[in-house]
Structure 1
Amino acid sequence: MAKTKIKQNKSSQDFSKYIRWFWMLFSGAILAVILVFLSASWGWLGEMPDHTQLENLKSNLATEIISSDGETIGNFYYNDNRTPVIYDDLSPHLVNALIATEDERFHKHAGIDARGTLRAFVFLGAKGGASTITQQLAKLFFTKKASGSIFKRVFQKTKEWVIATRLERQYTKEEIMTQYFNKYDFGNNGDGIKSASRIYFNKEPIDLEIKEAAMLVGMFVNSALYNPRRNPVGVKNRRNLVLYQMHRNGYITEAVKDSLQKTELDLDYTPQSHRDGIATYFRGYLSGFMKDWIKKNPKPDGTKWSLYNDGLKIYTTIDSRMQKYAEDAVQKHMPRLQAEFFHQNTPDRNPTAPFLDLTNGAIDTLLMRSMRQSERRRHMKYDLKKSDKEIEASFYKPTQMTVFEWKDGKPSERDTIMKPIDSIRYYKTFLRTGMMSMNPQTGHVKAWVGGMNYRHFQYDMVKQGKRQIGSTFKPLVYAAAIDQLHKSPCDEYPDTPYCIEANKHGNPEEWCPKNSNLDYGGNRTLKNALANSVNTVTARLIDEVGPQSVVDLATKLGIESEVLPVPAIALGVSEISVYEMVGAYSTFANKGVYTKPVMVTSIEDKNGTILYQFTPETNDVLSDETAYVTVKLMEGVTQSGSGARLRTKGADAYRADYREVVTGYPYEFTNPIAGKTGTTQNQSDGWFMGMVPNLVTGVWVGGEERSVHFKNITYGQGAAMALPIWGLYMKSCYADETLNISKDEFEKPTDLSILVDCSKVKDKTATDDDEDETPGDLDFN
């Protein structure tokens, strides 16, 4: 009995010892965990964010370019193409998909999901991880992926837990989720949900549908692996898993899940690099504008704004709809015109193609000049420190490259092997274009197309490029005559040869311009003379008013390019940009008031503080009467002159190889249109300036070199090269009734004293014949 009792006491003592050891170990483990958490909190396991950093979660934010109709038309970014959104900008499907897939108890925990953590511990992660959305946000902002021993990974996870609990105290659930969407990199320059939704689906985040939201949320697991462009099958499978999770958590029905899982990804891939997307040439101009603004406008603390990281918002005057219509018009007309140019410049038809009127020696000189000005040479000389001999030799070695081409009437690229010197000649075969559209009353530029393809033709032909303007300068001469001499569109002038003698108006020798068709005789009204670009009548007018007065008027109309005070300017020998010409013509539509073109209305920082707001710059140049009479003169161009094809029904007749049949145009405009075509000597430049009361648009088309041009006037005149782009653009603008493009008459001054209705003049010998503009707009003989 005693022995039994002794054994029981001993057994009890041994068990008590185990109990004590258990509690000691358990308490030690708890203390160790607490110590680890405290160590992490105190920064002993690595640097931790302080209170200020947690209050200001900082990402590199791209500068956002916003159109006048509220669309994002591009971003300026260096590494991160990130534009933040707020919670209300997120589609509910995005929110539901993220919670269902990444953190089912998101709204129930305080940063750490205890159940998920225990499950991950017991099953060693086989049944899912334990990271909450808040922990993943902490990882994105403050920690890096752990590598090495298990202890480093444990310490890493501990830091995430500590930061997650702090974030939960600092932010609402909605703010945490929004930050996560804004921070994540979805690949292909899709930094943040706004960029990603625009790049993959060409939509704003709020507009994403269920399957689109599911695809993007599926990429959170690994956007490099689940890249929809490289791994569409894997991405579809991952998307379908997200849809399953959404059904499992009650966000969608089984029928919806089954239906959506059968669909394709249906991407609308819209790249957002600096050379892709909408309004690329305008964005190129805007980059220079912003760099100048940043130099002159430091931050309040004296440091410089970053165009790429500070999240600025630039509000522009560009209308995304009109910009698209303008780009579509260019891309519809130019390949057809180019096809005809190629047809006329085969080696059999033109051994020096694409050049005309040049010897082989002159062509070699031209190509060498272009070689010396090329980006390839600059890179080799200044970046690679190559010698001139090495550089020149490299231009004659076949090189693999990607070149531009029109394919099936659309811009495309082709991989090829070509000598760089041959690629220079190849690119000179392409006709270029520049187009700008502006509201004359506000000065707001609504569309800006500096070329056909910014990736391959980066020189902007709206503001950078300046070309001879031909007969589009004549309205300035007529306006000077109306202003100074009170001329009427019904006044008649003899259509006979005319010379301005030597030494008059600073002209060193006698100047005798010829009419294009060498046809003279009878009288012409000024309206008829301008409509048919009669050179002799324009010469008489500039002789009467003097070249200097026309130069002074041009300056007041915003033309900053050099215009020499010589009689020949009447026929458009000056080189002026599309930007300047649109500003000048807008003065006529705006009752004689010049309004400087405006591209940027305001600039804000990421918090919405206004940093810049434009101030209109206007100048009273002409009386409203003079402006109106000049407009009525230009209406004659589209009624009975070289622009009359805008009024005809014609036929939308194009050959299968995209060569345009220029005998018919399906425009049928019936509303008042004022305008002027322009064609320079040898058909090197084709212009059309067109106006309605609230929109002025200018178009130029030509080769990079003046020796690249059509051989005859059929295709080489402004009415064939440039006018079709204006017509296609305006058809689209009028079809979009939300734009409210005017079809009304130009407003008539109340005190009009100049006769503009020539039907009231008896015995008018000149008729407003429908004659196309023909060569000789500029004749220097």
Structure 2
Amino acid sequence: MPQFKIWIRKIFKNRWVKGLSWIMGSVLLFLLGLYISVYLGVFGKLPTTEALSSIKHEQATQILDHKGKLIGKYYIYDRQPVNFEDLPKHLIDALVATEDSRFYKHNGVDNISLIRVFVKNLILQDKSAGGGSTITLQLAKNLYGRKNYAMFSMLINKFKESIIAKRIEDIYSKEEILILYLNTVPFSDNTYGIESASLKFFDKSVNDLTINEAATLVGTLKANTYYNPRVHQKRSEDRRNVVLQQMVNYGYLAKDSLEFFSKQKLELSYKSYNHDLGLAPYFREAAKKQLTAILDTLKTPEGNHYNLYKDGLVVYTTLDYQMQQYAEEAMKAHLTKLQNNFETSFGKNAPWNDNSKVLKTAIQKLSIVKRYKDKGLSDAQIMDSLNLKRNLELFSWQGDTVRNISVIDSLKHYIKFLNTGMLSIDPKTGAVKTYIGGIDYRFFKYDHVSQSERQVGSTFKPFVYTAAIENGLDPCTYFSLREVTYSNYDDWTPSNSGSEEEDPHINYTLENALSNSVNTIAVKVLEEVGIPNTIEQVQKLGITNELPNKPSLALGVSEINLMELTGAYASYVNDSKPVKPYIITKIEDKDGNVIVDFKPNISVEKAYSDNTRQVMLEMMKSTVNSGTAIRLRNSYGLKNPIAGKTGTTQNNKDGWFVALTPNLVTITWVGNDNNSIGFKSTGLGQGANSALPIFAQFYQKLNADKAYRAFTSTRFEDISEDVIKALDCEPTKRDGFFKRLFKKKTKKKKFD
């Protein structure tokens, strides 16, 4: 023993050993001092036990359809927490095996792993040794992030995380740590938390993840961009197989299962909840605007305003997820074809071509042109700037592309596109079932459901006829097809849109005139009932816009919002009562407490009599069975109970179709956002061709889905005997010989 002491003294008297000892001692002393400094809060206050006990995460607000299916989210960080009971065992096994195999044995910092890393990584230069970071250490980093301290940042941050990790282990159980970790860890595509990642990449809740899907998501944690399964599928599959191998290594997965799972191809069901992408983006934006206004009037129990992006609210809406999907599919299928026909119809004389008047006017209306002019640039300088090219992603029905184009090129590209608005509601309540505000929210932000007001064309005629019948006009009253010139309105002569010259001696009943959308008779009916009576009737239907006090009112020159129009039409299948379409039913906080709920806004008073309603409904059934919307029957094979009305505005600028069924009212509009551009021909632009097919294809999809029998199979109400008798007359009547002899083709008179 004395010899050993002598040997030790000799070693430490060696100047190299003494120097090395001083260096190591100084390093250890420095590290100890740095650790104590971090512990005492010199580099920033550490979270206390109390703060860690009440960890609050920013949570995404979820927006759900009427059945509770997730439509989208509002968030800064896409995070959607779940409980431990929701986590499948194979997900936990995959996580522990891959990220922290000794998770259940350490107290936040795994000293054994750190020694292993030090020996293998630093001494033996084995890069596969791993980083020694535990799940708890990663949780600390996820919760509080890292700061840049200029010098020794990594050490300071590691010390902070180790202190926080040990405090977390003192407060929470291992199960609670796992759920905290999985609710906060970042996955690919800016997604936070396992539930959000599961929904985004596999369109399912976390508790439904398969072993392979769980292994895929766990595999991305090593580098969520590098192993992004959407972008790098092969790379992600390889990483998934590493996770599966780790599960085998630590006894979580049978060895003979490895070959089976590792050979499976990675299959994603990617659902983006980005604000601009995914299902019903216009609906989600409209809901967000309403929510912002609603939340401004509410306060939390602590007296603070709710935060739409951070407080994890749950918003229940009226939308039907599957029905919306069918509607969007129908819209895309029809407009892809219609857009091609629309462009082809103009040939070389398209209004978006170079030097066209429409294009020149559109250029001058650009906001960037106004800014350039305010800066004093000349016209030549402005045009030079507008012709500078850059890479830009462009919308196309054939698939988005990136092209090197100028501002003018971009304007020429987008000015030609037809756009659309489509709304389906429950006529009994006003609950919105489908909502399409445009063709693609990424490129066309303007919402044609909630923001737009367009001329409604012949879809206004049923309101005129409703006023007439309500004011006592017999449905079997005959009106002549002949044109009339109204001298007190600048010799205005309304005409019909038929291509063939009409016989002025033919007279139509109201039913025949409405179902065939006869303009000349609509104006005569308006004259019969009077403009004031018609306006009063329309106001009872919930239309709030100021209406023109002139005979062209009958032809739908008024600009009306699609939501108001749909609510008014609902009255024909809702006991003569209009409704106000609504989209939000209930808002809950993150704990499931109801903050506010909403009831349907249904009119108490009828807008017109039961007799009028039944007469009008029969007339609009004729529109579908034998009139302007007959292609629903003969082209699309729809045999359902449907009433409707087509509409086309002057110069074929707007195409409309209204579809009434007992439990669903749908209105579709199609047109160009630039009101200078209409369809080249009535055959192409009429509502029966431009708007009706969207509804037709949508309803075909509903017919094929047994889940929607309540919409597709329900029959209209039985009409009374009085209404049957009132409509029992020949649809047309020809003038007698003497009347034909002395009757002029066009009559000139004043509009009373």
- Structure-to-structure mapping, 1:91-106, within 5 angstroms: 91-106=88-103
Distance of aligned partners of 1:118 and 1:307 in 2 relative to their CA distance in 1, 3 Å threshold = same
Residue 658 of structure 2 corresponds to 689
SS of residue matched to 2:434: strand
Residue 160 of structure 1 corresponds to 161
Distance 1:67 1:602 in 2: 11
The CA deviation string for residues 129-160 of structure 1, in whole angstroms up to 9 with x for no partner, is 433222211121135278887x7655544433
Contact 2:651 2:678 in 1 (8 A): yes
Residue 710 of structure 1 corresponds to 679
Amino acid at match of 1:371: L
Distance 1:12 1:323 in 2: 86
- Structure-to-structure mapping, 1:126-145, within 5 angstroms: 127-144=129-146
Deviation at 1:242? 0.2
Residue 296 of structure 1 corresponds to 297
Amino acid at match of 2:572: F
Amino acid at match of 2:497: S
SS of residue matched to 1:225: coil
Residue 402 of structure 1 corresponds to 393
SS of residue matched to 2:160: helix
2:340 matched to 1:339? yes
Distance 1:757 1:62 in 2: 60
Distance of aligned partners of 1:255 and 1:478 in 2 relative to their CA distance in 1, 3 Å threshold = farther
TM-score, normalised via structure 2 length = 0.86
Residue 515 of structure 2 corresponds to 531
SS of residue matched to 2:424: strand
Deviation at 1:93? 3.3
Amino acid at match of 1:328: E
Deviation at 1:277? 1.1
SS of residue matched to 1:485: coil
Distance 2:369 2:3 in 1: 93
Distance 1:257 1:484 in 2: 79
Distance 1:669 1:143 in 2: 59
Deviation at 1:202? 3.2
2:209 matched to 1:222? no
Distance 2:245 2:370 in 1: 55
1:472 to 459, 471, 492: 459
Residue 71 of structure 1 corresponds to 69
Amino acid at match of 1:679: T
Deviation at 1:221? 1.6
Residue 713 of structure 2 corresponds to 743
The CA deviation string for residues 560-615 of structure 1, in whole angstroms up to 9 with x for no partner, is 33322322111111112222221111121111122211111122232333332223
Residue 649 of structure 2 corresponds to 680
Distance of aligned partners of 1:524 and 1:174 in 2 relative to their CA distance in 1, 3 Å threshold = farther
Residue 459 of structure 1 corresponds to 446
Distance 1:603 1:387 in 2: 51
Distance 1:114 1:399 in 2: 55
Contact 1:493 1:524 in 2 (8 A): yes
Deviation at 1:641? 0.6
Deviation at 1:437? 0.8
Distance of aligned partners of 1:401 and 1:526 in 2 relative to their CA distance in 1, 3 Å threshold = same
- Percent sequence identity is 38
Residue 405 of structure 2 corresponds to 418
Contact 1:317 1:445 in 2 (8 A): yes
Distance 1:672 1:418 in 2: 50
Distance 2:5 2:443 in 1: 89
Distance 2:174 2:626 in 1: 68
1:730 to 681, 696, 699: 699
Distance of aligned partners of 1:379 and 1:124 in 2 relative to their CA distance in 1, 3 Å threshold = farther
Residue 84 of structure 2 corresponds to 87
Deviation at 1:231? 4.0
Distance of aligned partners of 1:146 and 1:424 in 2 relative to their CA distance in 1, 3 Å threshold = closer
Could you list the runs of 5+ residues in structure 1 that have no partner in the other structure?
1-7, 19-24, 649-664, 768-780
SS of residue matched to 2:622: helix
Q: Give the stretch that moved more between structures: 207-216 or 315-324.
A: 207-216
Amino acid at match of 1:596: K
Amino acid at match of 2:358: I
Contact 1:377 1:391 in 2 (8 A): yes
Deviation at 1:449? 0.8
Q: Give the stretch that moved more between structures: 545-554 or 290-299.
A: 290-299
1:51 to 49, 60, 71: 49
Residue 497 of structure 1 corresponds to 482
Amino acid at match of 1:220: L
Distance 1:290 1:271 in 2: 21
Deviation at 1:697? 0.6
Distance 1:168 1:386 in 2: 66
Amino acid at match of 1:198: L
Distance 1:707 1:124 in 2: 71
Amino acid at match of 1:93: H
Distance 1:174 1:311 in 2: 22
Distance 1:577 1:556 in 2: 16
Deviation at 1:300? 5.1
Amino acid at match of 1:493: Y
Q: Give the stretch that moved more between structures: 560-569 or 726-735.
A: 560-569
SS of residue matched to 2:188: coil
2:41 matched to 1:60? no
Distance of aligned partners of 1:575 and 1:143 in 2 relative to their CA distance in 1, 3 Å threshold = closer
Residue 471 of structure 2 corresponds to 484
Residue 755 of structure 1 corresponds to 723
Amino acid at match of 2:441: Y
- Structure-to-structure mapping, 1:260-659, within 5 angstroms: 260-299=261-300, 303-347=304-348, 351-354=349-352, 362-372=357-367, 376=368, 393-407=384-398, 412-485=399-472, 487-488=474-475, 491-497=476-482, 499=484, 508-509=489-490, 511-517=492-498, 518-519=501-502, 520-619=504-603, 620=605, 621-648=607-634
Distance 1:166 1:403 in 2: 52
Deviation at 1:451? 1.4
Distance 2:199 2:30 in 1: 48
Amino acid at match of 1:99: V
The CA deviation string for residues 213-233 of structure 1, in whole angstroms up to 9 with x for no partner, is 111101112213323345444
Distance 2:196 2:478 in 1: 62
Distance 2:578 2:533 in 1: 17
Could you list the runs of 5+ residues in structure 2 that have no partner in the other structure?
11-21, 735-750
RMSD (Å) for aligned C-alpha atoms: 3.6
Amino acid at match of 2:169: E
Distance 2:725 2:373 in 1: 64
TM-score, normalised via structure 1 length = 0.83
